Structure 1
Amino acid sequence: MTAQTYVPSLLSRTGAVSVLTLAAVGGSVLAPGAAPEAQAATHAVKALKVAASKKGAPYKYGATGPSRFDCSGLTVYSFKKAGKKLPRTAQQQYNKTSHISSAKRRKGDLVFFHSGSNVYHVGIYAGSGKIWHSPKTGAVVRLEKIWSKSVWYGRVG
């Protein structure tokens, strides 16, 4: 059962559900005009969950899933499953996202590793300074702490 199943039983005498009650059961509230931001967050969280579900999938250069991935192949696959299309390479993905500061990063944002102006790796931000990514030949999709300060953040619109 989902949280929405319980909402009718949580109605107050006036027929309203408080924001706190919804939060307690995992519901969500959308403010008028907040749909684009909320929708972007929903896609990002879905993509994050897809990437996490691929834990242990082997790295293969040029692979876009469903059982093998390179770094940008994992992000392409994850966001496609969440309803968003991304370009194929990490650099193209960086060029296509809204660039944000580390202070504004959220779960599901893309984390781009760069050397100078060249992006060479991408992962999906999981919170707490960690990303889901497909790192290199011989490795598998995994959750890992961000190991470099040379990162940029991008939000898929």
Structure 2
Amino acid sequence: MRTGITTLATTGVLLGGTVATAPNADAGTLTIGQRALGVAQSKHGDPYRWGATGPSAFDCSGLTYYAFRRVGRPLPRTAQAQYNRVRHISYSQLRPGDLVFFHYGSYVYHVGIYAGHWEIWHAPHSGSYVKLERIWTRSVWFGRVS
């Protein structure tokens, strides 16, 4: 059996951005966000392409759009529209699988899926690829897909 996403989707429990196997856990016990996080993680290394929504290239909101659609929770296409749709939460409520929205004033310009430990899975910019990266600013808002 592959490690990583297969383990997470079938027998894992996500704990603060790391995967710990649990013999009695099943995919039904994972939250929608954790399942979407697993989808995003499985796209590691896929290239960034502006406007792309997968399955083999993504922009930032295209990755979140794709990941949540794959787990049965469709989101709007753009980061701003996604922010407008989700339930807004505080930092103290943040957990792996929630969305992290980067903003300048009231304008949302980027989105990623929280992995724990102040890191997100995202498709950052042209010339890059889907990857896990540390959040680089405090100008973020959080949202949860229910």
Larger Cα Rg: Structure 1 or Structure 2? 1
Match of 1:147 among 121, 126, 136: 136
Aligned partner of 2:85 in structure 1 is: 96
- CA distance in 2 between counterparts of 1:52 and 1:25 reads 21
- Stretches of structure 1 lacking an aligned partner (at least 5 in a row): 4-22, 29-37
Instruction: Please state which structure has a larger fraction of its residues in strand.
Output: 2
Aligned partner of 2:56 in structure 1 is: 67
Q: Does 1:27 align with 2:25?
A: yes
Instruction: Please state which structure has a larger fraction of its residues in helix.
Output: 1
Could you say if the C-alpha distance between residues 123 and 24 of structure 1 is closer, same or farther in structure 2, counting changes exceeding 3 Å?
closer
Structure 1 length normalisation: TM-score?
0.76
- Paired residues for 1:96-115 under 5 Å: 96-115=85-104
Question: Residue 26 of structure 1: CA displacement?
Answer: 4.1
- CA distance in 2 between counterparts of 1:26 and 1:109 reads 24
Aligned partner of 1:133 in structure 2 is: 122
Aligned partner of 1:46 in structure 2 is: 35
Aligned partner of 1:79 in structure 2 is: 68
Structure 2 residue identity aligned to 1:27: A
- CA distance in 2 between counterparts of 1:127 and 1:73 reads 21
- CA distance in 1 between counterparts of 2:92 and 2:39 reads 24
CA deviations on 1:79-117 (whole Å, 9 max, x unpaired) are 011110100000000000000011110110000000000
Structure 2 length normalisation: TM-score?
0.82
Aligned partner of 2:110 in structure 1 is: 121
Pairs aligned (count): 128
Aligned partner of 1:31 in structure 2 is: none
- CA distance in 2 between counterparts of 1:131 and 1:148 reads 12
Moved over 2 A (4+): 23-28
For residue 135 of structure 1, give the secondary structure of its aligned residue in structure 2.
coil
Structure 1 residue identity aligned to 2:57: R
- Stretches of structure 2 lacking an aligned partner (at least 5 in a row): 2-9, 12-20
Structure 2 residue identity aligned to 1:103: S
- CA distance in 2 between counterparts of 1:95 and 1:152 reads 11
